[in-house]
């Protein structure tokens, strides 16, 4: 089994997913990507300890967007706390665009959808 899974975003959701992949090994490598270097390093160390104790054989390492692009599967868990008001899809696209290499942002340009009226909700 030589499968790699990249997780973009090392917050609560990303770390939980990585830990689950260690406990239920369906891949040989988990690559964590996050712009917050201290958080990324801490999660890699903690999850590395979990692989040692659990003996799952899954390798956990820090990577960047280029490494994630080479992975077999990429899971994007990056995001910020939602603020009241924006539509969820608009929030997701904005956060996705922030996490992707700037060369690819031009593909994500879109017109934001109109705010729904009260009777559409």
User: What pLDDT, on the 0 to 100 scale, is given for residue 56?
Assistant: 78
Where do you find CATH 3.40.50.720 in the chain?
A: 4-76
User: What pLDDT, on the 0 to 100 scale, is given for residue 118?
Assistant: 42
Length, in residues, of the chain:
121
Instruction: Write out the two tokens for 5.
Output: 């899974």
pLDDT band at residue 121 using 50, 70 and 90 as cut-offs: very low
- How many angstroms separate the CA atoms of 33 and 75, rounded? 10
pLDDT tens, residue by residue, 51-72:
876 677 899 999 998 999 999 9
Phi and psi at 29, nearest 5°, equal -145, 140
Instruction: Write out the two tokens for 56.
Output: 């799952």
Which class does domain 4-76 fall in?
alpha beta
Q: Is the pLDDT of residue 119 over 70?
A: no
Neighbours of 25 (CB within 10 A): 17
- How many angstroms separate the CA atoms of 29 and 114, rounded? 42
pTM, two decimals, is 0.67
Distance of CA 63 to the CA centre of its chain: 12
User: What pLDDT, on the 0 to 100 scale, is given for residue 52?
Assistant: 76
| Backbone Cα Rg of the chain | 17
pLDDT tens, residue by residue, 7-51:
999 999 999 999 999 988 899 999 999 999 999 999 999 998 888
- How many angstroms separate the CA atoms of 60 and 15, rounded? 11
**Edge-first strand listing for the sheet containing 4-8:** 59-62, 29-33, 4-8, 73-76
């Amino acid at each position: 089994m030589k499968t790699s899974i990249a997780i973009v975003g090392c917050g609560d959701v990303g770390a939980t997913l990585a830990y689950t992949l260690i406990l239920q090994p369906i891949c040989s490598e988990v690559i964590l990507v996050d712009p917050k270097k201290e958080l990324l390093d801490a999660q890699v160390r903690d999850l590395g300890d979990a692989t040692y104790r659990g003996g799952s054989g899954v390798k956990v390492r820090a990577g960047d967007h280029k490494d994630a692009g080479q992975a077999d599967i990429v899971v994007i868990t990056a995001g910020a706390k939602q603020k009241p008001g924006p539509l969820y899809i608009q929030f997701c696209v904005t956060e996705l665009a922030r996490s992707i290499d700037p060369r690819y942002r031009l593909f994500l340009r879109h017109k934001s959808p109109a705010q729904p009226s009260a009777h559409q909700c």
